[in-house]
Amino acid sequence: MISYMKVFGYRDGEISHLYIRSITLCVAASLALSLPLIIGSLSAIFRAMLLSYNGNIEIYVPTWSMAACVGIGFTTYLVVALLHMRSIKRVSLAEALKVQE
């Protein structure tokens, strides 16, 4: 589908702006917003699992660990996005116009 954007005359920068940048915002938001959901779910699971034990076990997730998860997730996304943009730049207009079956 993105190769068709080349057929319609979009330049690589415009394709990047329309496709990659909008997805980047979505990925960044989902990484940041899913972290509290994951920590809350794991806390509930551990509490339910440890109900029959006597005593108290504190559930603690260090801040650096959360930051590392977001950083690794976003870095991975950036690598994939760069590889995707490189493959988009390599698609020639003639190849984009061919009918694929």
Lowest mean pLDDT among 18-22, 23-27, 46-50: 18-22
Question: Comparing 23 with 9, which gets the higher pLDDT?
Answer: 23
One-character DSSP codes across 28-62: HHHHHHHHHHHHHHHHHHHHHHTTTSSS-------
CA distance linking residue 5 with residue 14, whole number of Å: 9
56 has a pLDDT exceeding 90: no
pLDDT of 74 reads 93
Report the chain's mean pLDDT, rounded to a whole number. Answer: 82
- How distant, in Å, are the alpha carbons of 17, 41, 50, 87, 99 from that of 13? 6, 40, 53, 14, 25
Write the pLDDT tens digit of every residue in 58-89.
888 898 998 998 999 999 999 998 888 887 77
The type of residue at 15 is: I
